[in-house]
Amino acid sequence: MAEKRGSSITRISFFCLFLTTTVMFVLTSTSRPGVFDRKSMHAEKLLSVFNNGDSQTTNQSNVESSNGSNRAILVHNERKGVEGGFQLSCNGNLKEPLKIYMYDLDPEFHFGLLGWKPQGNEIWPDIRTRIPPYPGALNSQHSIEYWLTLDLLASEFSENPNTRQAIRVKNSSEADLIFVPFFSSLSYNRHSKVIRPSKKSKNEELQSKLVQFLRNQKEWKVSGGRNHVVLAHHPNSMLTARMQLWPAIFLLSDFGRYPTNVANVEKDVIAPYKHIIKSYVNDSSDFDSRKTLLFFQGAIYRKDGGFARQELFYLLKDEKDVHFSFGSVQNNGVRKASNGMHSSKFCLNIAGDTPSSNRLFDAIASHCVPVIISDEIELPYEDVLNYSEFCIFVRASDAIKKGFLMNRIRSITKEEWTRMWEKLKQVEPLFEFQYPSKKGDAVQMIWQSLAHKVPGVKMKINKSRRYSRFLTRKRRGLRIIPPKDLW
One DSSP character per residue, 409-472 reads: HHTS-HHHHHHHHHHHHHHGGGG---SS--TTSHHHHHHHHHHHHHHHHHHHHHHHTTTTTT--
How far is 483 from 475, CA to CA, in rounded Å? Answer: 13
Q: What pLDDT is stored for residue 468 in this prediction?
A: 73
Q: What pLDDT is stored for residue 330 in this prediction?
A: 62
Residue ranges, the chain, pLDDT below 50: 1-7, 9, 26-85, 90-91, 474-487
Q: What pLDDT is stored for residue 76 in this prediction?
A: 34
**pLDDT tens for residues 302-347?**
666 568 888 999 999 889 899 998 866 667 778 899 999 999 999 9
Write down the pTM of the prediction: 0.78
Q: What pLDDT is stored for residue 465 in this prediction?
A: 87
Q: What pLDDT is stored for residue 158 in this prediction?
A: 84
Name the residue type at position 382.
E
How far is 6 from 58, CA to CA, in rounded Å? Answer: 62
Phi/psi region, residue 51 (left: phi>0; alpha: psi -120 to 50; beta: rest), is left
**pLDDT tens for residues 209-250?**
999 999 999 999 999 999 999 999 999 999 999 999 999 999
Q: What pLDDT is stored for residue 95 in this prediction?
A: 72
Question: How many alpha carbons fall within 13 Å on the CB side of residue 109?
Answer: 23
> How many other C-beta atoms lie within 10 A of the C-beta of residue 409?
21
Q: What pLDDT is stored for residue 402 in this prediction?
A: 95
Contact partners, residue 263, CB within 8 Å, separation at least 6: 242, 246, 250, 252, 255
**Direct distance between the N- and C-terminal alpha carbons of the chain, in angstroms, rounded to an integer:** 77
CB 294 within 8 A of CB 322: yes
Residue 22: enclosing H or E segment and its boundaries? helix 2-31
Contact partners, residue 209, CB within 8 Å, separation at least 6: none
